[in-house]
Amino acid sequence: MANSADVDKSIYYVPESGWYPVFLAFGLMLTVTGLAGWLNDVSAGGTGDATQSTIGFAIVALVLYSWFAKVIEENTAGLNNESVQKSYVWGMGWFIFSEVMFFAAFFGALFYVRSFVVPWLGGEGDKGISNYLWPAFEATWPVVQNPDPALFANPGESMQAPGVTDVSAWTAYLPFYNTVILLSSSVTVHFAHDAIKSQNRQKLIGWLGLTVLLGAIFLVLQVEEYIHAYTELGLTLGSGIYGSTFFILTGFHGFHVTLGTFMLLIQLFRAIKGHFSPKDCFGFEASSWYWHFVDVVWVGLFFFVYVF
């Protein structure tokens, strides 16, 4: 590997051809076809077989590991000049924007259901005639009485936040704690960034470790909340539109928190190895932007899924 001293910094580094992408594409295909076969089998009453998707996922994981290791190695060798770094910044920025639009689809669905579909089904507004389908249905949000409870069992209870003044109820309200945890983690990751800038590795490891810990606690509480919903409240994916929107929004958010925590964990290992310098810490920065994005989505969720 070239030594960083003899690399021409005016060069835009174009990597040699490599095996990662085509194997990653193959692994992805294996994963999703396996998953599709599995889901179809389970929906048809079978037991399902996850072998293929597990193998596919292992290939994906292996390729990603090698790919990122290679990129880090190239960067350490000094091959990535400022311009290449800038391409990474643009890449991550627009990737996060695409993620925002992914959530926009689900938020859009939530808003459309709440402002149009449910009132119309309840007989209000321009298309109130749809109430003829299920005349007994009344428009409320959260929908705890479904139009056709025989097809979609009513949820026993919703996850709605207590009234603003009801302090004792808030202290027992899990999503409130999760909000505090996630917002704090955005602050701690920012302190970690400051630690890189002031070249204090101990502080960096401390703050970054704390951020990962907060992410993990958030996830544990989220799982706790789901167990509570399924076993005690009777709120499931199958409980009509409230359960559908609730679980798809919080579920995909939780999935993204998992991803973000994992990314930060990798950066923690890299920090322990001494990878980052004030001028060269893209891996850390990208993960922290992702983390802030996940945080912002949660704020939206907290208000539109839980509070209002």
Partner 1 sequence: MSEVIHADHHDDHAHGPEKGLKRWLFTTNHKDIGTLYLWFSFAMFLVGGVLALVIRAELFQPGLQFVQPEFFNQMTTNHGLIMVFGAIMPAFVGLANWLIPMQVGAPDMALPRMNNLSFWILPFAFGMMISTLFMEGGGPNFGWTFYAPLSTTYAPPSVTYFIFAVHLMGASSIMGSINIIATILNMRAPGMTLMKMPMFVWTWLITAYLLIAVMPVLAGAVTMMLFDIHFGTSFFNAAGGGDPVMFQHIFWFFGHPEVYIMILPAFGIVSHIIPAFARKRLFGYTSMVYAVASIAFLSFIVWAHHMFTVGMPLAGQLFFMYSTMLIAVPTGVKVFNWISTMWRGSMTFETPMLFAIAFVVLFTMGGFSGLMLAITPVDYQYHDTYFVVAHFHYVLVPGALFSIIAAVYFWFPKWTGKMYDETLGKIHFWLSFVGVNVTFFPQHFSGLAGMPRRIPDYPLQFADFNMISSVGAFIFGLSQVFFLYVIIKSLRSGAPATGRSWEGAKGLEWTLPSPAPYHSFTQPPVVKDEEVLG
Angle at the Cα of 116 from the Cα atoms of 115 and 117, rounded to 5 degrees: 120
Between helices 82-112 and 282-301, what is the axis angle to 10°?
10
Looking at 107-115, 176-184, 214-222, 261-269, which segment touches partner 1 (CB under 8 A)?
107-115
- How many residues sit in the footprint of partner 1 (CB under 8 A)? 80
User: Is residue 98 at the binding interface for partner 1, with CB under 8 A as the rule?
Assistant: yes
77 lies in the binding site for partner 1 (CB under 8 A): no
Task: Closer to partner 1 by CB, 118 or 204: give it.
Answer: 118
69 binds partner 1 (CB under 8 A): no
15 lines the binding site for partner 1 (CB under 8 A): yes
User: In a 10 Å sphere around its CB, with 0-12 CB exposed, 13-18 middle and 19+ buried, how is residue 85 labelled?
Assistant: middle
Note whether 151 binds partner 1 by CB under 8 A. yes
Shortest separation between residue 203's beta carbon and partner 1, angstroms: 33
* Euclidean distance between CA atoms 185 and 191, whole angstroms: 10
Of the ranges 112-120, 220-228, 262-270, 282-290, which one interacts with partner 1 (CB under 8 A)? 112-120
Positive or negative: CA dihedral 272, 278, 283, 289: positive
Cα separations in angstroms, 86 against 93, 195, 202: 11, 22, 28
The one-letter amino acid at 10: S
Is residue 194 involved in binding partner 1 (CB under 8 A)? no
| Rounded CA separation 144/149 (Å) | 10
Interacting span for partner 1 (CB under 8 A) from 12-20, 197-205, 261-269, 289-297: 12-20
Does residue 106 belong to the site contacting partner 1 (CB under 8 A)?
yes
